[in-house]
Structure 1
């Protein structure tokens, strides 16, 4: 085979591969399908035993970290809730319309960046009426402040499990021509007793999800975990 023919074949193969890659490029944003995400409207300020505290300085917000979050995500929501017994829960949600661009900003990243030390990271699950969704639990500390954290992340309509599940989901959505949205939901409380904190956080999260309109619930709890 002469050089000209070989180069022509290689060029044809390269063009075919390029065309195939272009044809398989995701074009449909999942964020444009179904109800639009509006965190302020979707998450009630009052539900079950919880009421939002309008004026509360419990949350620590570093300006540089906030700038990073604002760049990574389309919407964010931060609130502090209190129940009738005076127990406070901090809720933080960050949502991105394009998961390829929005790399999840987990507590393992943002808490140490604000001076916290992390302890005892472990997997867990959040039991709902018809769902059981995987969560991550970790204890953070800053001086005398002990803040156990429960969080979970979603891609499209599924909650991410451990390991390579995130990458597998991204590839599956990409092959289907879809651009997945995603979010991280973080619940925490200042409580030196981690077991008690996780119990309260689990109750809060379950009651919050139960209070959501049915058409919004799968955005937060996923659709693949049904029992």
Structure 2
């Protein structure tokens, strides 16, 4: 009966094994987005593993050295990759409508329909949310504001259309995920946004929301 424990991992890692572990850890792309800062460190780490077997360490000592070096690699990786991840989050939200985009809501809606027919549901979702926002601007539910993000548009529209506020917030998050977060939208995503955009065209805004 097998115990389920892997037997292909060395109990006492040697230099080549530690070098392979470090290479695998350092192969992730976010560590190399700041390659100029890591180049000397990576070279130093690999040299340590190359020379590990020549220092006469016992098995236990070699294992401790490998674990120690790996811990340093992970620590530096977090320090360097942290700002990269944060910068990606900063870039994850942008304007819904470009300043030079003068299309009407009908034109954006038509672009969304064309993209959906072509099977490009990501583009369909992006264009449909833009049509929703532009349509609310045309109806004066929203004021025209350059650089408004999807979150801001959803929040502002939710105040004027409180019955749709939860769905608008969800739609704004979907837009950001698809337009700026690399998510691939599905036909269901497009269908939900299509239904919301249709409802928004006929929903009457509240005066309380206008006062805000």
TM-score band by shorter chain is under 0.3
Higher helix share: 2
Q: Under a length normalisation based on structure 1, what TM-score does the superposition of the two structures give?
A: 0.25
Q: If each structure's strand is expressed as a fraction of its own residues, which one has the higher value?
A: 1
Say which one has the larger Rg.
2
Greater relative contact order (Cα 8 A, min sep 6): structure 1 or 2? 1
TM-score using structure 2 length: 0.26
